[in-house]
Amino acid sequence: MGYSTQGKNAHESLVARQDSEIRLLELMRRCLLQKVKCDREYASAIASVAQQGLKIDKTDEPNGSQVLQAWKKFMEEMENQSKLIRTNTENLENVCTDRMSQMCQEKRKLKKQYQEEHAKIASRFYQLTEDVARKKAEYQKHLEYYKQMRMRFEEHYIKSGRAGRKLDDVRDKYQKACRKLHLAHNEYVLLLHEATEVEKDYRTILLPTLLAHQQTDQEQFITNWKNLLNDIAKFSDYTSNEYLSIQQHISNSINSITPTDEYKDLADKYKSLPVIFRFDDNPNEENFGKLQPNQLAIDNLTIESLRQRIADLEQSIKECQEKQQKIAGEINGKKISSSTSSIQSAASNNILTTNSSNLNGVSNSMKDTKFNKDLCSLKCQERQMNKLVEIIRSSLNEVSINELPSGCDDISVEIDKNLGTDENITSSSTHMSVILQKSGDFMTLIRTPFRKKRRTVAGDELSRRSKSQTPMTVRATTKQTRSISSSSLTVSNRPIYEEEWFHGVLPREEVVRLLRNDGDFLVRETTRNDESQTVLSVCWNGHKHFIVQTTADGHFRFEGPSFPSIQELILHQFQSELPVTSRSGAILKTPIFKEHWELSNDDVILIDKIGRGNFGDVYKAKLKSSRQDVAVKTCKHSLPDEQKRKFLQEGRILKQYDHPNIVKLIGICVQKQPIMIVMELVEGGSLLTYLRKNSATLDQQQMMGICRDTAAGMRYLESKNCIHRDLAARNCLIGSENIVKISDFGMSREEEEYIVSDGMKQIPIKWTAPEALNFGKYNSLCDVWSYGILIWEIFSKGGTPYPGLSNSKAREKIDEGYRMPMPEGTQPEMYKLMLKCWKEIPEERPHFDEIFTVVDCLMKKQ
């Protein structure tokens, strides 16, 4: 693993690393100069001592004395030692310090080159990201202008009929707005495709290529650095036993340097993640016009611009290929015989020459890598442009030129439908077709559905708990079956929230789950632009959602006649078997009634606030009907729809589970805001709080019982393919007779394996398995790891896992193989179970069925 596997944050870390290496080189250079000065002074001192030792008066010389000869020899060798030290000092000064200065300059050059190359590669990606944001805003601006022109045309058409100069002017503005919208749409789609390809190349080709070449240069630099340190050590070797011992330590330390492992820790710490570009879908309840997300609009408004775009791209591809051929020729013509240079350097005994050759090799390598990086960049540009050409060409091939569709909607026909009660308009406009001719091309405003913007009425307060009903599964294909269904579709004076087919503010995702067969329908409420609207949802060749329109006199309608109440409107659509809209063809066949778990908000009396969750407050409450005490989780009305869907996910999971060690769901209140999840009230509260409050009185039998209850609940969840993902003492409740119930299923998933795709935010680091933290991969064996942490919490009587360590430090130590020690007083068998739960390889961990058996057997032995 090397530089090429690093992600975005690694660039700053790599630059910081290079800065620290430059500072290290400067420090070494200063120290080396100081050592040269000290050694020179030391050599002079020894020479002075040797000369003084040889100044013996001849009158004082004992003739033939062996002691005197030994002394002279000793002084001569001391002088030789002084000369050797002076020689080594000169080598250090003339060779090593010069090479150190040269390496400092080369290191700065490498850093500067890397930053320039990285900025060059990244600039296009960053610029394209800004272009995407700018194009998105431009697209929204055209869309708003298109809507205004469309509404203005509609208003003039109603006032002035089908003729008139003013109407023609408004029609021209509308068509121009339509053209601009379609062109902006295509530019937006193509820019997203281009951005996706550029990001992919940036992440998988350009940046890895740059970093791979950078790694090669850095490794060569480390090799030269290592050689220089070896030379310094050689010139500092004074051959005494003490120096030999020190030298051995220095050599061992220097020789342990391995250039290929120099940046291993840095590469392991950062990983590259893709940036996903998605089309920003129109948030309207129904799609506007013919424009489809992430698809090119091929019509008479865009055909010429797309053809011109292909021509421009093909010309750019040709120029890109010519540049590639030029660079390839330069690379082939520039052949450097590095092997010959290496042989000549090895044959030379001059150390400066050898290392200078190595430095020259780095420079030549840098020149070669520049050519390769330029060539790689051009290949990526060519591939990106080819991709855009392929997308445009494939879209053009799907459309027949002789039957080229129009880009604008036929508003007049749709207005006739919406104003069907006006006989003068209806009779004359049913077959209207507006044909415009421009530059030999015909632009036909074909008939497409047009939703007129109307005033809507907010839904009434919902107050009654729905009766338990089973949705009709028999299709209304005969009069007899339809009469059975219509028994619940009768006109009455009761409010709409009392109708069994009215589901309140149930989110669209939940509605889709209820509507399974063609003709299934229900009515619900939604909020758009802070305005409450009533929506009819129907299963018909997919799922369709129709906003109930309000007329000027306060009646309700779709495309046909209007009625004084929504109940009468739904009854008319149901009994007449007419499509809701002509375009959709959706027919109402089977009303889907409220499920038994859909409660009315007024059935629940909130008493005391007992906590706060991720989505809202938690209350102790009471059911009106049974006077049963319950716990209620609320969802803030201000939260976005995505958060509300996540909130309801817990209720959707819990409603199908029934186990004594799983908290029970009583119902979900969706008849009005705020949405609430009603569950059984577990009086003992959080297990974590219970452990800490009763730490002095808890005995082994009680703690083993808690472990067994949680294992039983997790065994049940594992059998249902439910991954909890947040198992911890804080998310378990303690009930009567110390029965433990697992709760808080907000992060749970009903899958055998779940891959996180929305980032790792709000993840409980100290309770999460390593494979989930590192790769976002969850399964039931990840819950087994969390269960091991939970056992530790129980036997430490509410202690915080990995005490004294931050989340990041704990994660780092876990990856190194660290496991928490056994809490005081824990049975050795239970600690062995913890260690099994904390196996690094998930497949080596026990399943919950085995865990429950182990804990149960240990309890029976006590």
Catalytic residue numbers?
726
Task: Tell me how far CA of residue 340 lies from CA of 224, 238, 345, in angstroms.
Answer: 19, 36, 9
Cα(194)–Cα(312) distance, integer angstroms? 15
For residues 640, 645, 647, 651, the Cα torsion angle rounded to the nearest 10 degrees is: 160
**Residue 407 counted as an annotated binding residue:** no
* SS3 call for 373: helix
User: 534 pairs with which residues across the strands?
Assistant: 525
Cα(691)–Cα(823) distance, integer angstroms? 14
For the sheet containing 531-539, what is the strand order? Answer: 543-547, 531-539, 520-528, 590-591
Residue from 508, 515, 456, 745 nearest 641 by CA: 508
**Residue 614 counted as an annotated binding residue:** yes
Residue 721: which region, alpha, beta or left (left: phi > 0; alpha: psi -120 to 50)? Answer: left
Cα(197)–Cα(211) distance, integer angstroms? 20
Cα(170)–Cα(163) distance, integer angstroms? 11
**Residue 804 counted as an annotated binding residue:** no
DSSP state of 592: P
| Other CB atoms within 10 Å distance of the CB of residue 499 | 22
Task: Tell me how far CA of residue 109 lies from CA of 96, 216, 364, in angstroms.
Answer: 20, 15, 13
What does 263-306 look like in DSSP terms, one character per residue?
Answer: THHHHHH----PPPP------SSS--TT--TTS---STTTHHHH
DSSP state of 485: H
**Residue 513 counted as an annotated binding residue:** no
Q: How many helical (H) and strand (E) elements, i.e. helices and strands, does the chain have?
A: 23, 18
**Residue 289 counted as an annotated binding residue:** no
Number of alpha carbons in the 13 Å side-chain half-sphere of residue 288:
19
**Residue 677 counted as an annotated binding residue:** no
* SS3 call for 547: strand
DSSP state of 672: S
**Residue 610 counted as an annotated binding residue:** yes
**Residue 7 counted as an annotated binding residue:** no
Cβ contacts of residue 575 below 8 Å, gap of 6+? 482, 486, 489
Long-range interactions of 205-210: CB distance < 8 A, separation 24+: 205/376, 205/380, 206/121, 206/373, 206/376, 206/377, 206/380, 207/4, 207/118, 207/121, 207/122, 207/272, 208/3, 208/4, 208/5, 209/4, 209/372, 209/373, 209/376, 210/114, 210/117, 210/118, 210/121, 210/373
**Residue 633 counted as an annotated binding residue:** yes
Task: Tell me how far CA of residue 395 lies from CA of 236, 300, 744, in angstroms.
Answer: 74, 14, 48
**Residue 612 counted as an annotated binding residue:** yes
What does 642-666 look like in DSSP terms, one character per residue?
Answer: HHHHHHHHHHHHHTT---TTBPPEE
Sequence ranges of the binding site: 610-618, 633
Sequence ranges of the binding site for ATP: 610-618, 633
